[in-house]
């Protein structure tokens, strides 16, 4: 009996450990940029972000000027009791007493450092990256050698506001239109009802790529390109099939007798819809809203095509993609910018996770 209990404990341990490893693998990438976004520019560029953890590091304890020892760098030299060539000293030679001799710089005007291994943490945290990536003004940056470099800010605040101005109506408008349609499908009898609904179902999985070329032509004809209205309508069009389908599933499942008693009392469809159906459908509306919001906020393709020409209306995703394209190795900007772009989705996600999961289970998967 004791053996069985032990086996069970071991199994539990294996399960927890495996899951822990998987969770760690899934979390470390995000953690990496989060930590890096607070490190200063030089640290990010020269050392891995994991150096914020305690680690062994060589630090100089003493400096020697090569000329003082009268060394000839072109031949093997003896420094502090160890011998080696110039190249070996450049890479660092360890002494028997756990020190390291390293030649810094070139043969003529270099110096020699005697280094010792110590425990260290790289904890120079800063908010400068955020300041630079958020603001629109130029940003002064002092290099370690004292020269001042002026870099333009990335104006993420502007992009953030644009993204909000795109995402909020692109979420609310399709929900409103879809809710009206879903109500009609569920509670009204009219000609062509079946065929219209078949159209909704058929359009659920149609890839939006199919619409981009013709819609762009329409927009050019209407001079709509590069306006908020263009992109709201596009997101409304692309999200509407799913919204109608999901809301229909929910609204058609509401108890019939509540509505019938309202009709007997002489309420109109519009009153029933606004006073009864909308409040009762809040869970379904919320779960679709979260989906659509995340989808629109995170969208890159639709924005690229319909807002692409106008830098003033650039969204967060476009801004980030532009930084990747032009300054892909400036990790202090990329990490801070990525985190700014993730802030709102993560907030929505954590505060409304329950609705999000419910929406997923109801089939909120966009075509």
Partner 1 sequence: MDILRSRKELDQSLGARLVSWIGRVLLAIGIPAIAFLVLYQGFLFLRDSDAPRGLIALVAIIWGVGGVAILYWIFNTLVERLPDVWRIRLLPFVFVGPAMAILAWYLAIPTLRTFWISLFDRNGPPDGLSFFQLLSSDSFVGLRNYVAVFTDDLMREAFRNNLMWIVFGSTFSVVFGLLIATLADRSSFEKLAKSLIFLPMAISFVGASIIWNFIYEFRPANQEQIGLLNAIIVGLGGTPEAFPQWVDIAPWNNLFLIVIVIWLQAGFAMVLFSAALKGIPEELLEAGRIDGATEIQIFFRIMIPYIQGTIISVWTTIIIFTLKIFDVVWVMTGGQFGTHVIATQFYRQSFTNSNSGFGSAIAIVLLIAVVPVMIYNLKQFREREVF
The rounded distance, in Å, linking the Cα atoms of 223 and 171 is: 23
CA angle 134, 137, 142 (to 5 degrees): 90
Q: Smallest distance from the beta carbon of 94 to partner 1, in angstroms?
A: 18
Contact with partner 1 (CB under 8 A) among 89, 103, 130, 183:
183
Name every residue whose Cβ is closer than 8 Å to that of residue 346 and which is 6 or more positions away in sequence: none
275-294 binders of partner 1 (CB under 8 A): 294
Contact with partner 1 (CB under 8 A) among 193, 220, 275, 354:
193
Q: Outline where DSSP puts E strands in the chain.
A: 55-64, 77-79, 82-84, 93-94, 99-104, 111-120, 138-142, 148-152
In which element (H, E) is residue 294 found?
helix 282-298
Contact with partner 1 (CB under 8 A) among 53, 127, 202, 282:
202
Answer yes or no whether residue 205 interacts with partner 1 by CB under 8 A.
yes
116-175 binders of partner 1 (CB under 8 A): 158, 161-162, 164-165, 168-169, 172-173
Q: What are phi and psi of 103, to 5 degrees?
A: -90, 120
Answer yes or no whether residue 258 interacts with partner 1 by CB under 8 A.
no
Contact with partner 1 (CB under 8 A) among 146, 190, 257, 265:
190
Answer yes or no whether residue 228 interacts with partner 1 by CB under 8 A.
yes
Contact with partner 1 (CB under 8 A) among 263, 275, 282, 351:
263
Contact with partner 1 (CB under 8 A) among 6, 7, 9, 23:
23
Answer yes or no whether residue 10 interacts with partner 1 by CB under 8 A.
no
Answer yes or no whether residue 341 interacts with partner 1 by CB under 8 A.
yes
Contact with partner 1 (CB under 8 A) among 237, 276, 278, 283:
237
- Number of chain positions touching partner 1 (CB under 8 A): 121
Cα–Cα nearest to 50, from 24, 32, 25: 32
Q: Determine the length of the chain.
A: 367
Stretch that binds partner 1, among 54-62, 107-115, 142-150, 269-277 (CB under 8 A): 269-277
Which DSSP string corresponds to 233-257?
HHHHHHHHHHHHHHHHHHHTTS-HH
């Amino acid at each position: 009996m004791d053996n069985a209990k032990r086996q069970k404990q071991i199994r539990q341990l294996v399960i927890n450990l495996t899951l822990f490893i998987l969770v760690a693998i899934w979390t470390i990438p995000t953690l990496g940029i989060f930590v890096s976004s607070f490190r200063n520019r030089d640290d990010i560029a020269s050392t891995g972000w994991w150096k914020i953890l305690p680690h062994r590091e060589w630090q100089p304890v003493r400096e020697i000027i090569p000329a003082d020892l009268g060394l000839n760098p072109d031949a093997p030299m003896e420094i502090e009791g160890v011998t080696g060539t110039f190249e070996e000293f450049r890479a660092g030679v360890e002494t028997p007493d756990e020190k390291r001799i390293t030649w810094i710089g070139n043969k003529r005007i270099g110096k020699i450092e005697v280094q010792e291994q110590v425990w260290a943490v790289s904890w120079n945290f800063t908010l400068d990256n955020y300041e630079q990536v958020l603001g629109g003004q130029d940003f002064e940056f002092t290099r370690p050698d004292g020269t001042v470099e002026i870099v333009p800010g990335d104006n993420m605040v502007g992009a953030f506001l644009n993204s909000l101005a795109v995402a909020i109506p692109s979420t609310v408008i399709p929900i409103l239109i879809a809710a009206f349609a879903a109500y009609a499908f569920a509670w009204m009898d009219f000609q062509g009802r079946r065929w219209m609904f078949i159209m909704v179902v058929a359009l659920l999985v149609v890839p939006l790529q199919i619409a981009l070329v013709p819609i762009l032509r329409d927009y050019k004809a209407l001079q709509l390109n590069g306006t908020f209205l263009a992109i709201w309508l596009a997101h409304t069009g692309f999200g509407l099939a799913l919204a109608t389908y999901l809301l229909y599933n929910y609204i058609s499942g509401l108890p019939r007798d509540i509505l019938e008693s309202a009709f007997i009392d002489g309420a109109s469809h519009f009153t029933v819809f606004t006073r009864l159906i909308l409040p009762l459908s809040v869970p379904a509306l919320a779960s679709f809203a979260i989906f659509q919001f995340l989808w629109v906020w995170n969208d890159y393709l639709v924005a690229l095509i319909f807002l692409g020409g106008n830098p003033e209306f650039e969204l967060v995703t476009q801004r980030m993609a532009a930084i990747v394209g032009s300054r892909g190795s400036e990790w202090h900007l990329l990490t801070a910018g990525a985190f700014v772009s993730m802030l709102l989705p993560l907030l929505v996600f954590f505060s409304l996770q329950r609705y999000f999961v419910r929406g997923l289970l109801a089939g909120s998967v966009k075509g």
